[in-house]
């Protein structure tokens, strides 16, 4: 993705320099901890037993300086976020008749707080509708690339676009409706609704990718499709040594995630992302 020349977003809240809270990896080691947390996030597997005795939040004693790599990642994330702002400021009014009010993206390291609960590697990147902010520990990009096989700058951009897509769902009232429904039904039914919500976010990410096609480089779309496959519920449950359990899926299979992203990219239309009206996911 050619980022040179793209503006930086002002809607970034960088908490990584603050003392904050960190995560002690214990016996797992930092890399092992990140793998376990990522798998737990994407599959819904309870990873608490694996973290007992390690992964305990701890206070940092003082603010710290960011490394060059961390500063570079913040710049990258800010430019990608700006691209989503420019795209949805045009697409949402044109296709949904609604003005776009962009979210804030919170960058943190280790653990931070949100109105939706504490944010950490255990939650992974997520969107909180209570404050209309997306939360991202940028170390997650390295976990995706090195441990989950989702490499490339556009794979990382896809993660940002996916969380912004949840904000689009919130703006359209979809997220509130789904959250209300999930509180009234069984766990299996709530999971099924969550899968449709996540696949719709993948599709909306594809709509954004179509709109920024002019800055894409050869191989970028394949990077996003590969990332979608690598973080499919079935793939991650197999990676965790489990037989895939569809009733526990919360994000969709590898095939579904890649296909819905591709659908959004090929159409460039919000209307094509109606996963809730689809007979086949």
pLDDT tens per residue across span 145-164? 887 888 889 999 999 999 99
Q: How far is CA 119 from the centre of its chain?
A: 13
Question: Which pLDDT belongs to residue 147?
Answer: 79
Question: Which pLDDT belongs to residue 206?
Answer: 98
Residue 114 lies in a domain: yes
Residue 207 lies in a domain: yes
Checking if the pLDDT of 132 tops 90, the result is yes
Residue 120 lies in a domain: yes
Q: Please provide the average confidence, as pLDDT, over all residues in the chain.
A: 85
Question: Which pLDDT belongs to residue 150?
Answer: 87
Average pLDDT estimate for 124-134: 92
Question: Which pLDDT belongs to residue 117?
Answer: 84
pLDDT band at 237 (very low <50, low <70, confident <90, very high): very high
Q: Give the residue, 139 or 189, on which the prediction is more confident.
A: 189
Listed range (24-38, 93-107, 174-188) with the worst mean pLDDT: 24-38
Q: Give the residue, 122 or 164, on which the prediction is more confident.
A: 164
Average pLDDT estimate for 116-133: 83
Number of compact structural domains in the chain: 1
Question: Which pLDDT belongs to residue 121?
Answer: 59
Residue 4 lies in a domain: no
Question: Which pLDDT belongs to residue 55?
Answer: 43
Checking if the pLDDT of 207 tops 70, the result is yes
- Block residue for tokens 């947390």: 37
Token output for 118: 């504490």
Do 253 and 232 form a contact (C-beta atoms < 8 A)? yes
Residue 107 lies in a domain: yes
Residue 6 lies in a domain: no
Average pLDDT estimate for 173-195: 95
Question: Which pLDDT belongs to residue 62?
Answer: 61
Do 140 and 75 form a contact (C-beta atoms < 8 A)? no
Q: What is the residue range of 255's domain? A: 12-277
Token output for 201: 């976010």
pTM of the model: 0.84
Question: Which pLDDT belongs to residue 52?
Answer: 39
pLDDT band at 194 (very low <50, low <70, confident <90, very high): very high
pLDDT band at 144 (very low <50, low <70, confident <90, very high): confident
Burial track 215-246 (b if 16+ CB lie within 10 A, e otherwise) = ebeeebbebbbbbbbbbbbbbbbebbeeebee
Question: Which pLDDT belongs to residue 164?
Answer: 97
Burial track 104-130 (b if 16+ CB lie within 10 A, e otherwise) = bbbbbbbbbebeeeebbbbbbbbbbbe
Residue 134 lies in a domain: yes
- Reported as a single tens digit per residue, the pLDDT across 3-30 is 888 999 999 999 988 744 444 434 444 3
Question: Which pLDDT belongs to residue 4?
Answer: 83
Residue 148 lies in a domain: yes
Listed range (64-68, 109-113, 196-200, 247-251) with the worst mean pLDDT: 64-68
- Reported as a single tens digit per residue, the pLDDT across 38-89 is 444 443 433 333 343 444 444 444 677 888 888 888 999 999 999 999 999 9
């Amino acid at each position: 993705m050619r980022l040179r020349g793209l503006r930086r977003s002002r809607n970034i809240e960088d908490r990584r320099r603050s003392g904050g809270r960190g995560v002690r990896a214990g016996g797992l080691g930092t890399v092992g901890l990140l793998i376990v947390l990522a798998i737990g996030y994407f599959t819904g597997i309870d990873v608490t037993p694996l973290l007992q005795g390690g992964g305990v939040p701890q206070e940092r004693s003082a603010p710290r300086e960011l490394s060059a790599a961390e500063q570079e990642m913040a710049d990258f994330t800010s430019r990608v976020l700006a691209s989503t702002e420019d795209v949805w400021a045009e697409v949402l009014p044109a296709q949904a008749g609604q003005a776009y009010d962009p979210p804030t993206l919170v960058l943190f390291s280790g653990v931070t707080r949100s109105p939706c609960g504490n944010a950490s590697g255990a939650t992974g990147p997520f969107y909180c509708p209570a404050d209309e902010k997306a939360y991202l520990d940028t170390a997650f990009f390295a976990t995706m690339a090195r441990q989950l096989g989702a490499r490339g700058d556009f794979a990382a951009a896809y993660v940002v676009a996916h969380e912004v897509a949840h904000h689009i769902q919130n703006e359209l009232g979809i997220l509130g409706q789904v959250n209300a429904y999930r509180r009234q039904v069984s766990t299996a039914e709530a999971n099924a609704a969550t899968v449709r919500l996540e696949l719709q976010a993948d599709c909306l990410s594809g709509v954004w990718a179509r709109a920024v096609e002019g800055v894409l480089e050869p191989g970028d779309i394949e990077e996003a499709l590969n990332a979608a496959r690598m973080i499919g519920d079935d793939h991650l449950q197999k990676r965790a040594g489990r037989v895939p359990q569809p009733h526990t899926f919360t994000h969709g299979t590898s095939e579904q995630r890649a296909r819905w992203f591709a659908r959004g990219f090929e159409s460039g239309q919000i209307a094509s992302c109606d996963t809730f009206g689809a007979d086949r996911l």
